[in-house]
Chains A and B, each alone.
Chain A
Amino acid sequence: MSATLAVSVWRGGADGAFRDYEVPRHASQTVLDVVTWIQRERDPTLAYRFACRVGMCGSCAMTVNGAPRWTCRTHVDKVAPDGRLRIAPLANLPVIRDLVTDMRPFFDKWARARGRFEGRATRADDFARVPPDSEKRRAAEAGIECIGCGVCYAACDVVARLPEYLGPAALNRAWTLVNDVRDAAGLERLRAVAGAAGCHACHTHMSCTERCPKRLSPTAAIAGLKRAVAAAALRGEL
């Protein structure tokens, strides 16, 4: 193991450039540790985001040596065996400054995909009883642990080609709600996720699934949406 890492970090906005730093190397060092060291020891103006440092909040995603990753749980050893790191902001999102992107387009799409639970029960109603091993509950379970990190969104080539595409995370979220038996938005949500900018734009090439740090499969969720939307369309409900 070399004593230092050769790190290039994106500085500036969309028209910025990479700047090089030499960073001391440590055992079990994460990419976020590297960025934090640069900000504390070399340049306090470096802008980046993090919060939990344990893979829960989803705020620390960046492009590391060409691939989107959650940086707080990405070990340097794993992604930079040769001691070289190239750290850039997430792709497919506007760059605000340095490693910080504007996540609004990403989350606006969750809203467009009706990614919000819409209940119909009142306080007078009893608890909903959802059998844990029912098919729907299991389908929801498969996608529920999303932390909204945007890694899948940055990995998706269709998002890059088709900026209005809702993208894997929003569609994955919608699929968990389609399978939530308490949710009342049913057809409205299927309408929101169908179409050329929705689930039908997905090419099933699975970059999202390969990259998702939570090991979710937005691809499977999107395939589920396509089936649900097709069934509704064939029934004449859409």
Chain B
Amino acid sequence: MSEARREALLWVAQRASAAVLAVCVAVHLATMIYAVQGGLSAAEILGRTRGSVGWLAFYALFVVAAAVHAPLGLRAVLAEWFGWRGRACDAALAAFATIVAAAGLRAVVAVFV
């Protein structure tokens, strides 16, 4: 893949994930505030998330968007501040993305089952 195409597609991925995150973060914050204000206990929260395919799908999407978005931002920081770019850098960032996705999805599954 040409450098131009790769950068362009990564830019699309960054923008698309940002759009998803904008919605997800808003919903997430509103939900948290609601849960805390209403004085829901951990058990009550788990009672709502367990078996809820809706929450599973929402948070899975949230995690995937974060796993796409964060490494791309980090990529720009590494390139500009530390001059680190190229294959090794991209491989490290792919690993970072995988860890973020795995850790996040594990947590999502944990409140589902």
Give the CA-CA distance A200 to B85 in the complex, in Å: 14
Q: Is the CB of A226 within 8 A of B11?
A: yes
Residue B44 CB within 8 A of the other chain: no
Q: Tell which of A104-112, A119-127, A187-195 binds the partner.
A: A187-195
- Interface size counted on chain A using CB atoms at 8 A: 17
Q: List 8 A-B contacts (CB under 8 A).
A: A194-B4, A194-B8, A196-B85, A198-B4, A200-B11, A230-B9, A230-B11, A234-B9
Q: Which residue of B lies closest to A162 (CB)?
A: B80
Q: Is the CB of A238 within 8 A of B12?
A: no
Residue A161 CB within 8 A of the other chain: yes
Number of A-B contacts (CB under 8 A): 47
Residue A229 CB within 8 A of the other chain: yes
Q: Which residue of A lies closest to B1 (CB)?
A: A238
Give the CA-CA distance A194 to B85 in the complex, in Å: 16
For residue B16, give the distance in angstroms from its CB to the closest CB of chain A.
10
What bracket does the count of chain B residues touching chain A fall in?
A: 10 to 19
For B85, the chain A residues whose CB sits under 8 A away are 196
Q: Is the CB of B7 within 8 A of A200?
A: yes
Q: Is the CB of B12 within 8 A of A234?
A: yes
Contact of B3 among A190, A195, A230 (CB under 8 A): A195
Q: Which residues of A contact B (CB under 8 A)?
A: 158, 161-162, 190-191, 194-196, 198, 200, 226, 229-230, 232-234, 238
Contact of A194 among B7, B79, B80, B81 (CB under 8 A): B7
Q: Which residue of B lies closest to A233 (CB)?
A: B8
Contact of A238 among B4, B79, B81 (CB under 8 A): B4
Give the CA-CA distance A158 to B8 in the complex, in Å: 18
Q: Is the CB of A233 within 8 A of B12?
A: yes
Q: Which 5 residue pairs spanning A and B have beta carbons closest together?
A: A233-B8, A194-B4, A238-B5, A200-B7, A195-B7
For A194, the chain B residues whose CB sits under 8 A away are 3-5, 7-8
For residue B84, give the distance in angstroms from its CB to the closest CB of chain A.
12
